[in-house]
Structure 1
Amino acid sequence: MTAAARQAEAKRRQSPLWRRSPDQWKVLDYAKAHSNGAQITLAIEGGSQAAVSYIAATDDTVVGMGGFGGGDPAPSLDQLSTWVREGKLRFVLEGAGRGSRGGIGGRGTEANGSVGSAPRRQP
């Protein structure tokens, strides 16, 4: 990362608009660092309300899924599985819409293509 890019990233992190908590930065930074070039940095259960602080002021591709009462458009299980198989997605943040605004409110899972099983590290 160039000095200018680091400076721009630091400025985004200090922006008062849609400020993320330190835990949210950790989640996003981890997903970015371990995504192996996936097009979608992070998929977040809880729709646009849960994803907005991850999306705002960043160039990362973040997908909000479901929303309050499931009202937001969301990729189907088949679509998520396809994204994982094709290497487009590696990380899903589950339960992000149920937490407090002060923290991440969910737990991260590395997408492995099989729903209901324990997360596994992909090669």
Structure 2
Amino acid sequence: MSSGSSGAQDWRAVASLNPNGERLLCVGESSSQVRAAYTGAWGEVIRDEDRPNVRTISLQRWTGQFWSGQWEHQMYLAVPTTRTGKGIGGEATDVEEEEDEEALEGTNGKAKKK
């Protein structure tokens, strides 16, 4: 998807459902942008009856040219616990631990911390 110009949507969050299937939660220009947006998209994209079937949420990055590339898994994100993507007490679910962010930075050297 990257064409070398600004505004490329090179990151996405995808929910994997049992027994099979996927739902695109959101796309963005950076991993930080996607991590900040996916919990909000959770309540809009994932139907109530599908929420118990969500196995994982994958943070993925597009690699290659926009006409010839593929999505590559970078890390798993926390599955929100409620319909709105909010955790107990109304706070957004913490999707990353410090060590996960450091691991992501090691994979591409370009990831930005929140």
Higher strand share: 2
Mark yes or no: TM-score above 0.5.
no
Higher helix share: 1
TM-score of the two chains, using structure 2 as the length reference = 0.31
